[in-house]
Homo-oligomer: A and B are copies of this chain.
Amino acid sequence: MPTTSRRERAREERRELILRTARELAETDGWDAVTTRRLAEAVDYSQPVLYGHFKNMNAISDAVALQGIAELTDVLREAREAGGLPALAHAYLDYAADHPAVYEAMFVRPTALSFGTPDSPAALKSAFDQFVAAVEPFADGDTETLAEVLWSALHGQAVLNQTTRLRPTHRHARADTLVSRLSGTFSAPTDN
Binding site for B on A (CB under 8 A): 107-108, 114-116, 140-142, 144-146, 148-149, 151-157, 159-160, 163-167, 170, 173-174, 177-178, 181-182, 184, 186, 188-189
When chains A and B are docked, how far (Å) is the Cα of A89 from the Cα of B105?
Answer: 28
- Across the interface, do B115 and A177 meet the contact criterion of CB distance under 8 Å? no
When chains A and B are docked, how far (Å) is the Cα of A107 from the Cα of B155?
Answer: 13
- Across the interface, do A148 and B170 meet the contact criterion of CB distance under 8 Å? yes
- Across the interface, do A140 and B174 meet the contact criterion of CB distance under 8 Å? no
Copies of this chain, count: 2
Nearest neighbor of A157 in chain B, beta-carbon distance: B152
Chain B residues whose C-beta falls within 8 Å of the C-beta of A189 in the assembled complex: 141-142, 145
- Across the interface, do A177 and B145 meet the contact criterion of CB distance under 8 Å? yes
A177-B142 CB under 8 A given contacts A153-B156, A184-B186 = yes
When chains A and B are docked, how far (Å) is the Cα of A170 from the Cα of B144?
Answer: 10
Chain B residues whose C-beta falls within 8 Å of the C-beta of A145 in the assembled complex: 170, 173-174, 177, 189
A139 vs chain B, min Cβ distance (A) = 10
A164 vs chain B, min Cβ distance (A) = 5
Nearest neighbor of A124 in chain B, beta-carbon distance: B165
Chain B residues whose C-beta falls within 8 Å of the C-beta of A173 in the assembled complex: 142, 145
- Across the interface, do A159 and B155 meet the contact criterion of CB distance under 8 Å? yes
Contact partner of A156 (CB less than 8 A), chosen from B141, B144, B155, is B155
Contact partner of A160 (CB less than 8 A), chosen from B144, B155, B166, B170, is B155
A–B complex contacts, Cβ < 8 Å, 27 sampled: A107-B165, A108-B108, A114-B164, A115-B163, A115-B164, A116-B164, A116-B165, A140-B188, A144-B167, A144-B170, A145-B170, A146-B181, A148-B166, A148-B174, A149-B153, A149-B177, A151-B156, A152-B157, A152-B166, A153-B157, A153-B178, A154-B156, A156-B156, A156-B157, A156-B159, A181-B184, A184-B184
